[in-house]
Structure 1
Amino acid sequence: MFEAILKNVREKTPLVHNITNYVTVNDVANSVLACGGSPIMADDPKEVGEITSICNALAINIGTLNERTIESMIIAGKAANQMGLPVILDPVGAGASSIRTNTVYRLLDEVQFAVIRGNLSEIKTVHAGSGNTKGVDAAAEDVINEDNIDEMVQFAKGVSKQTGAVIAITGAIDIVANEEKAYVIKNGHPMMSKITGTGCMLSAVVATYCGANPQEIVKSTAAAVCAMGLCGELAYQKVEETNGGTSSLRTYLIDTMSRLDFTQLQGGMKIESR
């Protein structure tokens, strides 16, 4: 299903511009490298447009905002749109503060996104302008489970229609959807939530996959979500074998991503179409 997607990532080595947060920037860069891309980080308004112009994709992450980087995100996003490059938005903590929520809406007004990836609370904020975000984590009640999964699939499709972007809602169960089609993905491990930045890393991996496959945004996003989840499972197995902890999981997660091939992904992915 995703063989060509992975092959293109490895063979094309897409250059991905990440305007991301300083808490997770190193892990983001290493994740792009591990999955087969090449990262570049620039956030000064004087150079972001030029840097974006040489890239294959742009990932915008609002995890640590300030006025300078907000302006850089707008400049880079418009430059990417002019070149037809996929732009990925990670609305970290949208709903937790007015500056985060307002920035998301300014970005949505001024930049066309190919993918918006966040937890359910963040995506609800994208949809309605307010949400129950608990810091940068989803609120306890914002969980996708077997009881509400059909409702959440329809919600994701609706937000896709509203924004014109593929919507990736990630958590215990993941949904990747456009207006017409959705993938439900059940890969991953709960321990991944104990590491700062797995969501940021995933958004960068999504950008890498989309940068290598710009005509297959929905499939590329689903492939990236499956890959990250499966790598989390494999990393947890290594943690158990070595009696490690969260720091070990972080290392093994990047290790497994760097070694992942299609045979592994095909054998381990838990995905269905809706």
Structure 2
Amino acid sequence: MSKPAVDYSLYLVTDTGLNHPSRTLVQSVEDSILGGVTLVQLREKELDTEAFIALAREVQVVTRKHNVPLLINDNIEVALAIDAEGAHVGQDDVSCVEARRLLGPNKILGISTGTPEEAKKALADGADYIGIGTCFMTQTKSPKRTLGPIGVRTILEVIPADAPLKTVVIGGIKHDNTRRVIAHSAGSNGRILDGIAVVTGIVGAVDAKLASEQLLSEFKAGFDMASQRLQGKVAPAASVEEVLKSFPRLLTTLREKSPLTHHISNYVAMNDTANATLALGGSPIMAPSASEAEDLSKVVSSVVLNIGTLTESFVECMLEAGKHANAQAKPVVLDPVGAGATTLRAATTRRILNAMHVDIIKGNAGEISTIAGIIGCQSESIAMRGVDSIGSGFTDPSAVVRAVAKRENCVVAMTGVVDYVSDGVRTVAIENGHPYQGRITGSGCMIASSIASFAAISPKDHFAAAVAGILALNLAGEHAGARDDVRGPGTFRAAFIDEIANLNPEQLLTEAKVRTVAL
């Protein structure tokens, strides 16, 4: 008998203890298959061998009726007793090599992996697939650490593109995060996850069939997004020249619509970011409570996540706000204030990037350097002192922002004496601005708020929003610095807010010092 063909798209892993009380486990399996489950693993850690075999035979009647392969978790004896299509083992179970010897060459064999080294060993040892995890926190396990899409991608990238080893992700996979996990974990080597492995999201659901349908739909959507991005099959972007011409219209639209932006910001700059948003023509709501993030996501037009004030309640609010903004397709702007200054700030930045899709990242050279390291982009390391970068910056800043943007599938805006913005394809340098902007607290935070306001009315081109958001405040800085009543940073602060409000839309076109940076 030859090895069965396997579709790993939607992989159900059972758990009697989490099964919904309205039905038996066997009913859950059948309902899930009717909803689109393509592979079933029977995982029952608490049953003795005799009871495990009895349950496995019941489940097998259903899986064979629907021609869906059945695998047995961590019990080769049970797999052989019922002639299952294969088995799955963990790192602490029987070795992959021994499992293959016992099962023979024509059975499906999978193994759990949590590191690149384990993935490479699984390939060498003859596994058919690996279960990569734990991706997120889950009810079934208490992992020492979670991988998130960034960690999953790191593992995918050590598997050669032409290797026969298949990959599924497991751990906290739900219908509201599946698409993002699949799209964002795709490796630079062209590898995309072959499927998702789900426990609670199916067996614990009130309607296992509906839950399976939703999960499969989200997996396919994420796979298509990843495929199109890796193959370069994305809608052609407007040229930089076309983007520049759109700026007067964007500012006019912003002032007409006054989009509401949800700020989770730091206490130091909160008042300044609110005033800058109002002066620009937007509408801020400063709401650092996780309990209202879902309700706000339905009425706001964009979200700013600023990690300047690092308390657990702020972080939890950011995670909730970002998750719900993603669900509502509202743009998320991350300002990783001081990301490289402490271990906590770097870890929080990683946590946010793993938990949601960030549409625009805005930071200084030190912060972008930290993010490059988190996501596995090679770049120079830029030191930080508190929330400020120190040193001369990157040798080639445009290459760094382009690489980070391309890897994270987002827009990256790096501020400094010259600002750089890239979406991975288009890259520009912005040479407007005034030195006093760097001598007042919160000027960078205000730029993040400005970007978020423009992103709210430019949903199809976040690159344009980021460039416009920086340019608008830099022009206001130039105008404020040139005023006769400005004597230093203190008087500049008040004049700066005034000049943001006084900006003429046409000035964004006529006074812009924006140049395209060629690849």
Structure 1 length normalisation: TM-score?
0.94
Q: What's the counterpart of residue 14 of structure 1?
A: 259
Q: What's the counterpart of residue 254 of structure 1?
A: 497
1:84 and 1:16 map into 2 onto residues whose CA distance is: 14
Q: What's the counterpart of residue 191 of structure 1?
A: 436
SS at 1:155 equivalent: helix
For structure 2, the residue ranges without an aligned partner over 5 or more in a row are 1-244, 375-380
Q: What's the counterpart of residue 477 of structure 2?
A: 232
Q: What's the counterpart of residue 351 of structure 2?
A: 106
Aligned 8 A contact 1:8 1:213 in 2: no
Are positions 1:164 and 2:401 aligned together?
A: no
Q: What's the counterpart of residue 212 of structure 1?
A: 457
Q: What's the counterpart of residue 135 of structure 1?
A: 386
SS at 1:96 equivalent: coil
Aligned 8 A contact 2:480 2:486 in 1: no
Aligned 8 A contact 1:157 1:178 in 2: yes
Q: What's the counterpart of residue 269 of structure 1?
A: 512
More helix by share: 1
Structure 2 CA distance for partners of 1:232 and 1:243, relative to 1, 3 Å = closer
1:77 and 1:101 map into 2 onto residues whose CA distance is: 18
- TM-fit CA distance, 1:243: 5.1
Aligned residue type for 2:343: S
Q: What's the counterpart of residue 271 of structure 2?
A: 26
SS at 1:262 equivalent: coil
Q: What's the counterpart of residue 87 of structure 1?
A: 332
- TM-fit CA distance, 1:111: 1.1
Q: Which moved more, 1:247-256 or 1:45-54?
A: 45-54
Q: What's the counterpart of residue 64 of structure 1?
A: 309
- TM-fit CA distance, 1:131: 4.7
Are positions 1:118 and 2:363 aligned together?
A: yes
Structure 2 length normalisation: TM-score?
0.50
Aligned residue type for 2:300: C
SS at 2:384 equivalent: coil
2:502 and 2:452 map into 1 onto residues whose CA distance is: 19
2:505 and 2:486 map into 1 onto residues whose CA distance is: 28
Q: What's the counterpart of residue 180 of structure 1?
A: 425
Identity %: 37
Aligned 8 A contact 2:382 2:389 in 1: no
Q: What's the counterpart of residue 188 of structure 2?
A: none
2:419 and 2:307 map into 1 onto residues whose CA distance is: 21
1:199 and 1:85 map into 2 onto residues whose CA distance is: 22
Aligned residue type for 1:212: I
Deviations 1:105-131 (A, max 9, x none): 000001101100000110010110375
1:268 and 1:181 map into 2 onto residues whose CA distance is: 21
Aligned residue type for 1:136: V
For structure 1, the residue ranges without an aligned partner over 5 or more in a row are none
Aligned residue type for 1:255: D
Aligned residue type for 2:373: A
Q: CA RMSD in A?
A: 1.2
- TM-fit CA distance, 1:21: 0.2
2:428 and 2:469 map into 1 onto residues whose CA distance is: 12
- Point out the structure with max Rg over C-alpha: 2
2:403 and 2:279 map into 1 onto residues whose CA distance is: 33
Aligned residue type for 1:139: I
Aligned residue type for 2:362: R
User: Number of residue pairs matched?
Assistant: 266
Q: What's the counterpart of residue 223 of structure 1?
A: 468
1:48 and 1:191 map into 2 onto residues whose CA distance is: 35
Aligned 8 A contact 2:486 2:495 in 1: no
- TM-fit CA distance, 1:262: 1.7
- TM-fit CA distance, 1:182: 0.7
- TM-fit CA distance, 1:183: 1.2
Aligned residue type for 1:31: A
1:24 and 1:52 map into 2 onto residues whose CA distance is: 22
Whose relative contact order is higher, 1 or 2, with alpha carbons under 8 Å and at least 6 apart? 1
Aligned 8 A contact 1:175 1:185 in 2: yes
